[in-house]
Amino acid sequence: MQRTDSRVVTVGRLFGVLAVLLVPWTAYVFLTLPPRARAENYDLAWGGFDVGLVGLLGLTAIAAVRQSPWLAPVAGGTATVLATDAWFDVVTAPTTADRLIASAMAVLVELPLALVCVWLALRGQDLPTRRRRW
């Protein structure tokens, strides 16, 4: 095994330990946080999140059109942010009507786009190899 490979395995193990350590914290959060909270800068948080999503969608577009070796990680990140956006839109919707709209947007737009990004990420992993063959 090369030195770089062993570092990757070590980091992978570290992430596994971190995932296990996060389980009790997650249980604590579920059990102790209040069901409602007023958030300062709520508009800035969501607006900033959406600006980041716009940036990732743009980077994914550029990487796909250029068949860039960056396509896989950028599309994977975009898929993650889209799924996160769908989740938080639905669970933070203040009214039933808002929750229905957020759910429809999640099912019809955000999650299908996330799946396309996953497909791009998987296809993008082969781009550097295919380009070298040419």
* Lookup result for tokens 């409602």: 36
Q: What is the pLDDT along the chain (134 residues), one digit of tens a residue?
A: 567 688 889 999 999 999 999 999 999 999 998 988 888 999 999 999 999 999 999 999 999 999 999 999 999 999 999 999 999 999 999 999 999 999 999 999 999 999 999 999 998 887 766 555 55
Q: Enumerate residues 6+ apart whose C-beta is below 8 A from 78.
A: 53, 56, 57, 59, 60, 114, 117
